[in-house]
Amino acid sequence: MTDQMRQALHRLAEQLPDDASWDDVVQAIFVCSKIEAGLKDVEEGRLLTDDEVFAEFTDAPSSSSL
């Protein structure tokens, strides 16, 4: 575990309520990891325009046609 990761975990723990469960901790870590991954995607130019996202979802087969 890197020092940066350890510091992030400490900050996260300080933000959680005193009565947080292990599930709360896992969810917070999951959300933080997804946000970090998204920010990395942005930095590396892996983006979709609104039109591309819309096309991806409108071209997908609907559940009624399966």
**Domain boundaries along the sequence of the chain:** 23-59
Q: Are 32 and 12 in contact (CB under 8 A)?
A: yes
Q: pLDDT of 51-65, one tens digit each? A: 999 998 887 666 555
Confidence (pLDDT) at 40:
96
Enter the pTM of the model. 0.67
Q: Are 24 and 16 in contact (CB under 8 A)?
A: yes
**2 in Cβ contact with 26 (< 8 Å):** no
DSSP 17: -
